[in-house]
Structure 1
Amino acid sequence: MRAVGYHELTYDAVAARARTSRTVLYRRWPHRRDLVLAALRHQAPPLPPPVPDTGSLRTDLLSQLRQVSTRTTELVPILQVIGDGRANDSDLTSYLHDRVSQAGKPEMDAMLERAVLRSELDEARLPARVAMLPFALVAAETLLRQRPLSEDALAEIVDQVVLPLIAHHGQTRR
């Protein structure tokens, strides 16, 4: 798929490369989208990465966002194929949407709950968009740069964006 794109991908080409027959492929993946989705699921890194517990909210966030940046870099080749516009309104775009629609929310909730237990915060709730923002920001910047973000960039995001947002929503210890 990387070589030709989604719409030019054929069962004949995949069968030849896999040294099998079209029939074998059709039996398992009756539609091209099923075949491509199976390949994406196999190649894409598992999401989400494990939620770190470093002992403080700031270092938890830095660790988590570092993992997100690294794993997003691994998705660049897949996204380039899909992002060429030829797969729009397909199951491929639905697959990606499903992977990222709540990206970061459960992880942020877990980190905030631990911060409450450590008495770093008064409560552990953020609006969903606010909770997902650092993950979206890191993923977007990583995709643009096509390499993991530097430690300085991650610290800037945590210190200048995430922690002030949490404080704005009244969760910091007074």
Structure 2
Amino acid sequence: MAERRRGAALEKALLDAAWAELADHGYARFTMDAVVKRAGTSPPVLYRRWPDRDELVRATIAHTLRENVLDVPDTGSLREDVLTLMREISATRLQLVTVMSVNLASYYQETGTSPGDLFDPSTTGRKEAVDVLFDRAVDRGEINPERLTERIKSLPFDLLRHEFLTTFAPVPDHVLEEIIDTIFLPLVR
């Protein structure tokens, strides 16, 4: 007989099951019953935590993003730090970006939200992680802090996401280098 899950372990199992449903079937075919079945639990267990599927989707996205924060590289240069991070994202995050953008399209339409609404950096810890790269580069004198807007900080990662969504494949290294060397670095120096 399987051990009964409780507390954080149960919540993680439910959110992992919800993510798997979103990844496999998208929001249009996402149901609370399918999550219950996949998690091997009962409806009251799920509904006690999230009363409807929209709240469950928001909790699932926040959970998945928190679970997928990458380690921040420290190579000694902004170019190599950002390139290393983009290589890691390219190698490991294609499904995450695809699900967030494509499989949740009907969620965004139904709820009047956008991917940006779900990518709250304060919830996921992503902003602090990436800001460390830029703070180090400023301290080393590599970049002009006055040119460092939030949009420019996110630019290489936005372009990486664009590549994912136009190719549905990991991004080749020469494309990552072009994004950094010809678009991003000239804007911050």
Same-fold call, TM cutoff 0.5: yes
Separation in 2, partners of 1:152, 1:110: 25
Answer whether contact 1:45 1:74 (CA < 8 A) is retained.
Answer: no
Residue number in structure 2 paired with 1:80: 102
Which residue in the other structure is 1:24 paired with?
45
Letter in structure 2 aligned against 1:35: L
CA contact (8 A) 2:36 2:43 kept: yes
TM-score, normalising length: structure 1: 0.73
Counterparts of 1:126-137 in structure 2, within 5 Å, are: 126-137=148-159
Aligned equivalents of 1:40 and 1:119: distance in 2?
A: 36
Q: Which of 77, 87, 90 is matched with 2:111 structurally?
A: 90
The reply to whether residue 155 of structure 1 matches residue 153 of structure 2 is no
- Partner in structure 2 of residue 62 of structure 1: 83
Distance, in Å, in 1 between the alignment partners of 2:155 and 2:126 is 8
Say which structure is richer in helix: 2
Secondary structure of 1:59's partner?
A: helix
Gaps of 5+ in 1: 168-174
Change (3 A) 1:43 1:61: closer
Deviation at 1:47, TM superposition (A): 5.5
TM-score (norm 2): 0.68
Amino acid at match of 2:174: D
Q: Structure 1 vs Structure 2: percent identity of aligned residues?
A: 37
The more displaced of 61-70 and 42-51 is 42-51
Q: 1:99 aligns with which of 96, 119, 143?
A: 119
Aligned-CA RMSD value: 3.1
Count of residue pairs the alignment pairs up: 164
**Whole-angstrom distance in 2 between the partners of 1:108 and 1:19:** 37
Specify the SS of the correspondent of 2:109: coil
* Cα separation, 2, equivalents of 1:129 and 1:70: 24
Structure 2: gaps of 5 or more residues: 1-20
Mapped contact 1:142–1:149 kept (Cα < 8 A): yes
CA 1:10 to 1:106, structure 2 compared with 1: closer, same or farther past 3 Å? Answer: closer
**How far apart are the structure 1 equivalents of 2:145 and 2:60?**
37
Which amino acid in the other structure matches residue 70 of structure 2? Answer: P
What are the Cα deviations for residues 57-111 of structure 1, in whole angstroms up to 9, with x where unaligned?
211121122233345413123433212x3542428x4575241679976555432
